[in-house]
Structure 1
Amino acid sequence: MLELLFLLLPVAAAYGWFMGRNSVKHQELKDRAHITKNLSSGLNFLLTDQEDKAIEQLLHLLDIEAATIDTYLALANLFRRRGDWDKAIRIHEKLHQLKLPKVQAQQIQFELAKDYQSAGLYDRAEKLLVPLIRQATLQERALKNLVALYISTHEWAKAQQLAEAVEQTNSSSLRLALANIGCEALQHSLPAERAKAYQQLASQYPKAIRPRYELATLAMSQQQSAEAFALFRGIVIEKPQWSADILPLAKNCSMPDEDWYQLLSQLSHKHNNISAHIELADWLLQHGSIKAAEQLLLEKLQQQPNIRLFKALLEQRKQGSEVAADILESVTELVANYLDKKVLYSCRNCGFKTRQHYWLCPSCQQWETVEPISGIDGR
């Protein structure tokens, strides 16, 4: 009898294993059916524009199935792009509570910080972003968002404290931002302090225009014309497209006449700049070369049709002919009225157009991208 019982033990064990396996499979099938039902219900709520109910239904699944994180991230990002920040925040906050791998958890933390920032909850966003600037995979993106946050709140000192972290990246836009933030922070400082600080910023961020521009205008206000002209000259040689704004300032500096002529010639002939053409024609006119000035404008108009060049030619012809002065006056006035309605600046990054210059583009929030426009109405 005992031998029979001993023989039956393996059979009993095998039966127990078989039944247990079937039970596990049955439970897995039951769980999957439950998940599918909740997913279907959530999607149905989305399709019928019942988004709040849909989010509640889908968030319940996070406690059951964490493998669908990417789906939830995509859904939250969709809400954020639509401006539904509260819905994006609810999803990301729920994801942030889960125990996930470090890289995935940090990505969710970054996305939640972006939600808070978009919703204007800057203190919450800052709290999440600060730890991320020490993470190599997210450092540059976290720094860009954190700098943008401090720009929004005008916390220039906090932004400047990120300089060391920025130097660890290859981001030229972050360096430009810090150069301009440094200039913003100096607006209410004493002239002597500003001059030294502008020089340091210009040396630390050589690709930034703002520190040199501010230093040049400060030099002008202190009657340091030679220094101011040298700085303005350096800017327009590097950025000829800025001539429309820089040349009128440089013209007010006391400088040798030959230096002014050489600068205008270089910008006109080498860089084909509209403002330089007009200034050079004016210089020729003042030095008695009336025909040379007119010939210059005609040649440049043939090479590069432009309304402002045409207006300059009309004004010159008006001075040279008393008979045609009245007719040309009315045409010049019409052209001037046309130009008065045209935008003067455009952002090279996003295309934002304006009649006013901004160091920080109001549209894309990039520094030093708003420049005088080019083309037929350009300067």
Structure 2
Amino acid sequence: MLELLFLLLPVAAAYGWFMGRNSVTHKELKGRASITRNLSSGLNFLLTDQEDKAIEQLLELLDIEAATIETYLALANLFRRKGDWDKAIRIHEKLHQLKLPKPQAQQIQFELAKDYFSAGLYDRAEKLLVNLVKSPVLGEAALKQLFSIFIATHEWHKVKQYSAVVNSTESSSLRIAQANMQIEALKQQPEQSTEPLLELASRYPAAVRPKYELAKRALAEQHTALAKSALLYIVEHRPQWSADILPLLQQCALTDEEWYQLLSQLANKQHNISAVVLLASWLAQHGSATAAEQFLLDKLKQQPSIRLFQKLLQIRQQQSAPAAEALSSVEELVNAYLDKKSLYSCRNCGFKTRKHYWLCPSCQQWETVEPISGIDGR
């Protein structure tokens, strides 16, 4: 009898394991069926434009199934693009409460910060982004989003605390933004001096504005050598800015030879319209109107330009009174045409304007609004 009992024990154990597995499988199937019902119900609400009910239904699934995070992120981003920031915030806040791996949790945190920014909740967005600026993956994007907050709130002084982090990145756009925003902070101070501008110009050589502002301050204080050095650096490294830089250089007491060499290089190597116009004026003054006219005709054949044509009309009118009378009406038409044309264009988004902006009003990028080139350009 005892031997029979020992023989039946393995059978009983196997039966218990089999029944237990069937019970677990049954619970799993029941749970999956519940998820499927909730998901189907949520999608049905979405299809029938009942978005609030759809969100409630789909958010319930997060407590059961957290493996579909990417689906929820896509849905929240869709709501944000549509301008439904409150719905995006609700989804991202629910995701933010889950215990997830660090990279996934940080991505959700960043998305939630963008929701808050879009909704105008800048303080909440800033708190989330501050914790992400040192992230090896999201640090650069978090800094850019933080800078967008400081631009929106005009809290320019806050950017200085991120100087070290910005300099550790390889982003030139972040460095240019850092330089420009520190200059905005300097403008709010009652005392103005060249020292902070000198420091910024040295620390951020890729940025145009520090040297531009330094040159203007130096000219105001009659430090022409300092202004000349800063402006020549801009012309050498960013010749597309020559239209705005050359008028300032004319105040820097360059010799005739220096001025001629500079204009010749910009006109012949960079094909800068403003330099060609100024060089034609120099030739008319130091040589002859005929030489200036021939120079403009040669340039017009190589590079059609309304502004070069305008300058040619002016020189021909100066040569004789009959020419002035015949060409005055043509010059008026050309002037009227140019008065309506944009002077600057954003190389990033294409925004056009007659007024210069250091920060593009359209794409919110620093130093992308530059003098226009082409047939109407300068």
Per the shorter chain, which TM-score range? Answer: over 0.9
Alignment of 1:222-261 (within 5 A): 222-261=221-260
Aligned to 2:199: 200
Distance in 2, matches of 1:286 and 1:44, equals: 80
Distance in 1, matches of 2:62 and 2:275, equals: 64
Distance in 2, matches of 1:296 and 1:44, equals: 73
- 1:370 positional shift: 0.6
Could you list the runs of 5+ residues in structure 1 that have no partner in the other structure? none
Aligned to 1:331: 330
Aligned to 2:38: 38
Deviations 1:174-218 (A, max 9, x none): 111111112111114466x53000111111111111111111001
Deviations 1:66-115 (A, max 9, x none): 00001111111111122221111111000000011112111111111111
Alignment of 1:145-294 (within 5 A): 145-189=145-189, 193-294=192-293
Amino acid paired to 1:337: A
Question: Which 4+ residue blocks in structure 1 deviate beyond 6 angstroms?
Answer: none
What secondary structure sits across from 1:294 in the alignment?
helix
What secondary structure sits across from 1:323 in the alignment?
helix
Question: Greater CA deviation, 251-260 or 328-337?
Answer: 251-260
What secondary structure sits across from 1:324 in the alignment?
helix
Distance in 1, matches of 2:328 and 2:55, equals: 68
Distance in 2, matches of 1:227 and 1:251, equals: 14
What secondary structure sits across from 2:304 in the alignment?
coil
Distance in 1, matches of 2:8 and 2:123, equals: 70
Question: Greater CA deviation, 151-160 or 302-311?
Answer: 151-160
Aligned to 1:129: 129
Question: Greater CA deviation, 119-128 or 221-230?
Answer: 221-230
Aligned to 2:72: 72
Amino acid paired to 1:79: F
Amino acid paired to 1:24: V
- 1:119 positional shift: 1.3
Amino acid paired to 2:339: D
Amino acid paired to 1:259: E
- 1:4 positional shift: 3.4
Equivalent pairs, count: 378
What secondary structure sits across from 1:42 in the alignment?
helix
Distance in 2, matches of 1:249 and 1:49, equals: 60
Distance in 1, matches of 2:235 and 2:96, equals: 50
- 1:54 positional shift: 1.3
Amino acid paired to 1:298: L
Aligned to 2:352: 353
Amino acid paired to 1:294: E
Question: Greater CA deviation, 8-17 or 289-298?
Answer: 8-17
- 1:288 positional shift: 3.9
- 1:326 positional shift: 2.3
- 1:137 positional shift: 2.2
What secondary structure sits across from 1:308 in the alignment?
helix
CA contact (8 A) 1:233 1:263 kept: no
Deviations 1:141-192 (A, max 9, x none): 212211221222122221111011112211111111111112111114466x
Distance in 2, matches of 1:296 and 1:227, equals: 33
* TM-score (norm: length of structure 2): 0.96
Aligned to 1:53: 53
Distance in 1, matches of 2:317 and 2:31, equals: 88
Distance in 2, matches of 1:129 and 1:216, equals: 36
Aligned to 2:118: 118
- 1:318 positional shift: 1.7
Percent identity between matched residues is 71
